[in-house]
Amino acid sequence: MERLCQCKWNMSSKNWKSAISELLGEFSFKATTENLLQTALETRELADPTIIHENIAIPHCRSILVDDFMIIIGKSDSGIPWPEEKVSVIILFISPVKPSGPSEHMELIKHLAKALRSGGAEKILSAGSPAEAASILKLSYEVNPGND
C-alpha cells in the first residue's frame, strides 16, 4: 500500500489525550482543525478504547477536515496509559470523507490488520527506528523535519 506515514519516536505524553495531541501536532493543521480532529479521536476512544493488542492502540476516524490520509506511528518507551492499560505504540490515522464512501478507509484498516497479524504486532513493538516501524506496516515513511 503506497500510503505515507510519519513517525514520532520517544513520545513525551503521559496520558492518552495528550498523546493524541502530540501526534496531531506533527501534522501542519491549523488550530481549529487540530482541535476538531482531537475531539473526534477522543470521542472514538471514549466510546471504546482502540487497544488492538497488548501495548498497541490505533486511534482513528474519518473526517471532512482532511483531504488525504493522515497516518502517524508514535512510540513511547515508558508507555502511555490508554486510559489504564499502558501502550507503547500508537498508530493514529485519519481518513478523508470521499463521495465514493468508506471503501478506502476500510482498505486501510484491512491493510493494518493484515500487517499486524502473524507476528507483525510483536515486530512493531520492538522496532528500533521509524523506518523499520513503517516497513513492518508496509507504509512509506515520510521523514518529518526535526524528528527522525
Partner 1 sequence: MIRELEKLISLHDLDIMISDLIDKDIIKQEKKLGLSPALAVEQLRKMRDELSLTIDRRYRDLYDQLAGHYGNAVVPVVNLMCSGCFTQLPTAFSPSTEKNDQVETCPSCGRFIYWCD
- Give me the residues that bind partner 1 (CB under 8 A), please: 30, 32-33, 35-36, 39-40, 43-44, 46-48, 50-53, 58, 61-65, 97, 102-103, 105-106, 109-110, 112-113, 116-117
Nearest approach in angstroms of CB 35 to partner 1 is 8
Of the two residues 66 and 133, which places its CB atom closer to partner 1 in the complex? Answer: 66
| Closest to 93 in 3D by CA, of 76, 78, 77, 74 | 74
Integer-rounded Cα radius of gyration of the chain: 14
Of the two residues 38 and 140, which places its CB atom closer to partner 1 in the complex? Answer: 38
Q: How is residue 26 written as a grid cell?
A: 506533527
At residue 132, the 3 state secondary structure works out as: helix
One-letter identity of residue 17: K
Nearest approach in angstroms of CB 110 to partner 1 is 5
For residues 76 and 13, the answer to whether their CB atoms sit within 8 Å is yes
Nearest approach in angstroms of CB 68 to partner 1 is 13
Of the two residues 4 and 46, which places its CB atom closer to partner 1 in the complex? Answer: 46
Instruction: Give the DSSP H/E element, type plus range, for residue 105.
Output: helix 103-116
Nearest approach in angstroms of CB 134 to partner 1 is 18
Q: Where are the alpha helices (DSSP H) in the chain?
A: 16-24, 31-47, 103-116, 120-125, 130-136
Of the two residues 32 and 146, which places its CB atom closer to partner 1 in the complex? Answer: 32
